[in-house]
A and B are shown apart, each in its own frame.
Chain A
């Protein structure tokens, strides 16, 4: 009756071998495509595809500050570095860690890693590049979002639905540009002057630049473009006659980390 111990161990060992070896052997013979190796999709014709060109020849720290101020005041972005009420001042590691930025500046070697050289054009070191969400054609943040709180609109804007965001921060891990910020606390006390026409965010959601989709719906340009005085160009990349298209045709531009295959849509003229 039954099986003896020796037979049982033989059977168990054999089935374990089959179970473990089976799957990997299958993958070895039929490798298929790894999902992470997906390539960026080509832009579709005949629709809107918003893109931005930052002209670093016209950009300086004053203009950048104006752009940041315009964006952050309209969109109720809290200021943890320099809070409106001195009583709310935060200790040093926290204020950097909690910082929320939709648009900000950073140095060449931080913004364009992988493009450093031993000897580089000297002027680059002094430049503060204006950085914001690249609204990639192949956005990694969208692929990792478990609730589809962040998704790509047909016009290319990588949109956020704050109602759906559960604050898991996968998108922050997915984004190679650091354009996403998490609300570690209720941001309202840290907003100097609340713009009541635009919602604030709540504790526990991720936020980023949305290419001013609410202004685009009214036919306006994004707030930073309006404040930049010509240093930023914004428009429809799918339209052959648009200004961004012309600017991109005329000048050599660089993008942030293009080798990652995200196909970023913010271009820099250096």
Chain B
């Protein structure tokens, strides 16, 4: 014999409890509103393609160089993939080891400096660095201290 107990007492067989959601309509509206707000970013950008970044390489400093010498400290593929690692390595070697010069894979020596080597050619931070960084939503904290030379170059060109 199976006895069932609920809050009203003992029953010989399982009592039928009416299953219902209280305030069914309000709950449904709530769920719909939640889903809409939660996915609003997707709806807003539906069908829109964000154009891929186009970092500009044509600064006055680069154009001035002869065609053959227009190379970065390493080749383009390396720089695209590993420039952040390279900058961290430079930072370590300059500050921790006091070694200010860095030799690339071809044996050429460069001053390991963000402001004085990279930004010397890439004087256009907004057209160069920021293009990709904004696209992939990364915020490197270089620029809190290091200077871009962008203003200096703009002033010099205006003259």
Residues of A within 8 A of B (CB): 151, 153, 155, 159, 161-163, 194, 196-197, 199-202, 213, 217
CA distance in complex: A267, B116 (Å): 34
Which of B95, B98, B100, B152 makes the CB contact (< 8 A) with A196? B152
- 5 A–B contact pairs at CB < 8 A? A155-B98, A162-B145, A197-B116, A199-B147, A202-B145
Q: Are B147 and A200 within 8 A (Cβ)?
A: yes
Q: A153-B98, A161-B96 given. 17 additional CB < 8 A pairs?
A: A159-B95, A161-B95, A162-B145, A163-B91, A194-B147, A196-B115, A196-B152, A197-B116, A199-B145, A199-B146, A199-B147, A200-B145, A200-B147, A201-B145, A202-B145, A213-B98, A217-B100
Q: Tell me how many residue pairs across A and B have CB atoms closer than 8 Å.
A: 28
Q: What residues of chain A lie closer than 8 Å to B95, measured between beta carbons?
A: 159, 161, 163
A201 and B116 CA atoms in complex are apart in Å by 17
CA distance A55 to B20 in the complex (A): 92
Residues on A with beta carbons closer than 8 Å to the beta carbon of B149: 196
Taking CB atoms and an 8 Å cut-off, the chain B residues in 42-99 that contact chain A are 91, 95-96, 98
Q: How far is the CB of A158 from chain B (nearest CB, A)?
A: 13
- Give the nearest-CB partner of B114 in chain A: A199
Taking CB atoms, residues of chain B closer than 8 Å to A196 are 115, 147, 149, 152
Interface of B toward A, CB cutoff 8 Å: 91, 95-96, 98, 100, 115-116, 144-147, 149, 152
Q: Shortest 10 CB-CB distances between A and B: which pairs?
A: A202-B144, A199-B145, A196-B147, A199-B146, A161-B95, A217-B100, A196-B149, A202-B145, A196-B152, A200-B145
Which residue of A has the minimal Cβ distance to B149? A196
A200 CA to B115 CA, complexed, in Å? 11
Max chain B C-beta neighbours (<10 A), residue from A153, A159, A161, A199:
A199
- How far is it, in angstroms, between the C-alpha of A83 and the C-alpha of B74 when the chains are bound? 43
* Residue of A163, A194, A201 with highest tally of chain B CB at under 10 A: A163
Q: How far is the CA of A202 from the CA of B142 in the complex (A)?
A: 10
Separation of A139 and B147 alpha carbons in the complex (Å): 31
Q: How far is the CB of B59 from chain A (nearest CB, A)?
A: 15
Bound Cα distance A155, B99 (Å): 13
B residues in contact with A151, CB < 8 Å? 96
CA distance in complex: A58, B96 (Å): 36
What residue of chain A has the Cβ atom nearest to residue B100's Cβ? A217
By a CB distance below 8 angstroms, the chain A residues around B96 are 151, 161
From the candidates B98, B144, B146, name the one contacting A217 in the complex (CB within 8 A).
Answer: B98
CB-defined contacts of B144 to chain A, threshold 8 Å: 202
- Kindly list chain B residues whose C-beta atoms are within 8 Å of the C-beta of A197: 115-116
Given contacts A161-B95, A162-B145, A163-B91, contact A199 B100 (CB under 8 A): no
Residues from chain B with Cβ under 8 Å of A153 in the complex: 98
- State A213–B99 Cα separation when bound (angstroms): 11
